[in-house]
Amino acid sequence: MAETILPVQGKKNILITSALPYVNNVPHLGNIIGSVLSADVFARYCKTRGLPTLFVCGTDEYGTATETKAIEEGCTPQELCDKYHALHAEVYKWFSIDFDIFGRTPTHQQTDIAQDIFTKLYNNGYLEERTTVQPYCEKHSSFLADRFVEGECPLCGYVDARGDQCDKCGHLLDPLDLINPRCKLDGATPVRRETKHVFILLDKLQLAVEEWNHKSSTDGAWSSNGINITESWLKEGLKPRGITRDLKWGTKVPLPGYEEKVLYVWFDACIGYVSITANYTDEWEKWWRDPENVKLYQFMGKDNVPFHTVVFPASQIGTGDKWTMLNHLSTTEYLNYEHGKFSKSRNIGVFGNNAKDTGIPSDVWRYYLLSMRPETGDSEFEWKGFIDANNNELLKNFGNFVNRIVKFVNSKVYDNVIPDYTYTDDLKAHIAEVNTHLKQYIAELDAVKLKAALATSLHISYLGNKLLQENRLDNSLAASNPSKCAAVAGLAINHVHLLASIFRPYLPSTSDFILAQLQASLLIIPDEWQATSIAPGHTIGKAAYLFSQIKPEKENEWREKFGGAEAQKQRDEKAAKAAAKKADKERKKAQKDAKAKEAKAKEQEQDGDANPAAQGKSVEAVEKDGAQALHDPKTAIEEVTQGAKQVTLQTS
């Protein structure tokens, strides 16, 4: 069993969390790059730098979403969670996500810690019991949690908005604000009834959260979208928010009279990081109650930001306890699929459980996703780009260099044994150039600039190819200048050893494969590379290709396999909606122009300047360009709308 990882006094201790994925679905590629894969890269980097690092994640299993999915699948919430937790774990294992613990939220540690936080907030005056009006379904005699109510969004008009949030405009909602609400379970119209709930008084904690936020976001250099989302919440003003719900599946509320209610998942979920750590080690407080010696890095998609930068920090502050709090926030925008959206119900896009069906190793998937990581804006998964990344970047650059030098040392020139080498000044210049880019790589990953550091890694690989080309390493050099040949070969093999380390955060299986060929252990990434880790006399293993070429014709095959026809329908539907919106805008502009011209014409008539010959004609006809009569303003949009109806599909 692996030794328990704990913080070490005097060292830079790193605590990493990846947003807990909801247990009721299958993660797609956007989910994977948005949190777990990005966090894995940073965790592997920190460990390869020799830092005490703990990487925590798990499935978020409580809440309305689980209850509704269990109802849909005809099973209990526990059975549903068991099924999907195993599925998530399998997906992440295939992608080589190396959690120190991948836990779950329904544990006694979660109950103990969440109830302790709740009780301290209550005793400190930051919780308040309020009588509220709640949707109640008379058909099955039960209060309805927000996600059990659906209807029209009062802000944007989206007809399938949930009671907690509108998926179209993104605004948080109250289920009672929905227009034409309906019960998700039986379609009945809910009625209003009074019930009691507990609210966290975020307004009383706003000043403390603002002070903490300013320091943390500055010192920790948060992602810009994380800063903007948080500041928007704070600028709008924090408001009391209900943290209990009428559900059975969740952490029980530790107050008398609340036996039939549970803690709301938005309050409860972030506490899961702490409880999962407590499941990993009884000494969890060494990680979570030592802000002087532990730095917390959190990875997530942008939709999870407010719960990590407002609700959870407010809860920590409100307890009055000492907490390790968020240091660096790394957030992503959205990864789209072939200029559309991933959709499980429409079978559009690659989901975690079928990426392996392509037969392409997980490292290639990791590389492409990380090279397309949506750090500052949305990005696109495209099959052509995926194939090109493998063939032109991994195979021709990185793979070619490693295979070429290992095969050369395997040859009869050296018979697998590293020759005695001494670096001349020109080769020392190569070491200096590599160190310049190594320092850049370290600075980029220290700042969690994952995509930039990956590009720098590839450039360091290019420098290895450049070394071989400029020195013309071949049998002729071995015969004509054996000392130079030995020095170039020794330096190149050491270069490969360094590449195994700097690519390890991104391509862990490839790194292991290289180390196996070198018959060497992993090199801790140094501040300055000396190029001496593989010494003369060391025997290496046999060369083997790191990557294989993907045939270009696979592009169309995979596009069709992963929802090509449905994806095209989705794009057509999107185009039809855009055309309808444009037509509607033009119609309104035409109406506005028509009214303005009509008013002007009447004014001219009143002044006695109107042209009698123009009476009975359209407004436009009085203009000098002789425009024809106005069409029925509804015609254009009706045509587009009718066309859109033909491609309307069930929403995902």
In b/e form, how buried is each residue of 234-267, taking b as 16+ CB within 10 angstroms? beeebebbbbbbbbebbbebebeebeebbbbbbb
Question: Where does 372-424 have alpha helices with state H?
Answer: 383-388, 400-410
The C-alpha atoms of residue 132 and residue 194 are separated, in whole angstroms, by: 5
What integer pLDDT is reported at residue 588 of this predicted model? 77
Compute φ and ψ for 110, nearest 5 degrees.
-65, -45
Compute φ and ψ for 20, nearest 5 degrees.
-65, 115
Kindly state the average pLDDT of the residues 174-181.
93
The C-alpha atoms of residue 532 and residue 467 are separated, in whole angstroms, by: 16
Look at 488 and 602; give whichever has higher pLDDT: 488
pLDDT band at residue 146 using 50, 70 and 90 as cut-offs? confident
pLDDT band at residue 564 using 50, 70 and 90 as cut-offs? low
Flag whether pLDDT at 567 surpasses 80: no
What integer pLDDT is reported at residue 629 of this predicted model? 33
pLDDT band at residue 525 using 50, 70 and 90 as cut-offs? very high
What integer pLDDT is reported at residue 72 of this predicted model? 81
Flag whether pLDDT at 595 surpasses 80: no
**Residue 405, C-beta contacts closer than 8 angstroms, at least 6 positions apart:** 464, 468, 473, 489, 492, 493, 495, 496
> What confidence tens digit (pLDDT) does each residue in 386-417 have?
999 999 999 999 999 999 999 999 999 999 99
* Amino acid found at 113: I
DSSP state of 393: I
Element spanning 108, H or E: helix 108-123
What integer pLDDT is reported at residue 649 of this predicted model? 25
Q: Which of 130-144, 498-512, 525-539 has the lowest mean pLDDT?
A: 130-144
What integer pLDDT is reported at residue 633 of this predicted model? 33
> What confidence tens digit (pLDDT) does each residue in 76-129 have?
999 999 999 999 999 999 999 999 999 999 999 999 999 999 999 999 999 999
Flag whether pLDDT at 74 surpasses 80: yes
What integer pLDDT is reported at residue 566 of this predicted model? 64
**Residue 154, C-beta contacts closer than 8 angstroms, at least 6 positions apart:** 173, 177, 178, 179
Q: Mean pLDDT score of the chain, rounded to an integer? A: 89
What integer pLDDT is reported at residue 209 of this predicted model? 98
What integer pLDDT is reported at residue 620 of this predicted model? 22
Query: 44, 41, 54: which is closest to 14 by C-alpha?
Result: 54
Kindly state the average pLDDT of the residues 486-499.
98
What integer pLDDT is reported at residue 603 of this predicted model? 62
Flag whether pLDDT at 212 surpasses 60: yes
* Amino acid found at 474: D
Q: Mean pLDDT highest for which of 33-47, 240-254, 591-605? A: 33-47
Flag whether pLDDT at 23 surpasses 50: yes
What integer pLDDT is reported at residue 611 of this predicted model? 40
* Amino acid found at 175: P
What integer pLDDT is reported at residue 606 of this predicted model? 57
The C-alpha atoms of residue 603 and residue 583 are separated, in whole angstroms, by: 30
What integer pLDDT is reported at residue 263 of this predicted model? 96
What integer pLDDT is reported at residue 148 of this predicted model? 87
Determine how β-strand 191-200 pairs with β-strand 127-137.
antiparallel
SS3 130: strand
In b/e form, how buried is each residue of 549-570, taking b as 16+ CB within 10 angstroms? ebeeebbeebbeebbbebbebb
The C-alpha atoms of residue 32 and residue 290 are separated, in whole angstroms, by: 30
Question: Using an 8 Å Cβ cutoff, are 140 and 113 in contact?
Answer: no
Kindly state the average pLDDT of the residues 318-333.
98
Look at 531 and 585; give whichever has higher pLDDT: 531
Q: Which of 166-175, 444-453, 558-567, 639-648 has the lowest mean pLDDT?
A: 639-648
Flag whether pLDDT at 6 surpasses 70: yes
Question: Where does 393-549 have alpha helices with state H?
Answer: 400-410, 425-446, 450-471, 475-480, 482-502, 508-518
Flag whether pLDDT at 305 surpasses 90: yes
Angle between helices 202-219 and 312-319 (to 10 degrees): 110
DSSP string, 543-576: ---S--PPPTTHHHHHHHHTTHHHHHHHHHHHHH
Which token pair is 187? 């379609």
What integer pLDDT is reported at residue 580 of this predicted model? 72
Sign of CA dihedral 621, 625, 629, 634: negative
In sequence order, what E strands does 31-73 have?
53-59
